[in-house]
Amino acid sequence: MNEKPPLKKQIVGLPAQHPRRIAYNFARWREAMELSHAMLMAGLRQKIGPEGDLRSAYHQWNAERRQRKLAAYDRAAARYFQRIKSMNLDEGKHDATDSGD
C-alpha cells in the first residue's frame, strides 16, 4: 500500500534549501493541492447531483474561472494604462507651466 509520511514530522533547523526541507515542503504543497482538488470535485458533485456529468461540470467551472481571470487581467491592464496616461498628462502640465529657466 502507498502510505504517505505524516506531515507532523516537521524538519526543524535545516536551511531552506536543504533537500529534505524541499522534499517536505513539496509534499505539503502536493497534499494541499490534492485536498483542494478533492474539495472542488465534492462541491461540483453536490451541485450537479449523483447522476450529473462531473467532467462536463468541471469543464464549465474551469471555463468560467478562466473568464473571471481574463476579466481581472483586463481590469488590471486598464488601471495600469490609465495610471500611465495620468502620469504623462501630469508631466505635460509640468512642462507647459515650466518657465524654462
Per-residue pLDDT tens digits for 20-62: 888 899 999 999 999 999 999 999 999 999 999 999 999 999 9
pLDDT for 16 equals 62
Shared domain for 75 and 99, answered yes or no, is yes
- 58-62, 68-72, 92-96: range with lowest mean pLDDT: 92-96
Q: Could you give the CA distance from residue 55 to residue 8 in angstroms, rounded to a whole number?
A: 34
Residue 35: helix, strand or coil by DSSP? helix
Q: 12: part of which helix (H) or strand (E)?
A: none
Domain that holds residue 71: 54-101
- Is residue 83 assigned to a domain? yes
Tell me, yes or no, whether 61 and 99 share the same domain.
yes
DSSP state of 52: S
Whether residue 32 is contained in a domain is answered as: yes
pLDDT category at 19 given cuts 50, 70, 90 is: confident
7 inside domain: no
All cell numbers assigned to 6: 505524516
Query: Is the separation of the CB atoms in 18 and 25 below 8 Å?
Result: no
Using CA atoms, how far apart are residues 26 and 10, in angstroms rounded to an integer? 12
Q: Round the average pLDDT of the chain to a whole number and report it.
A: 83
What cell does 92 get? 505635460
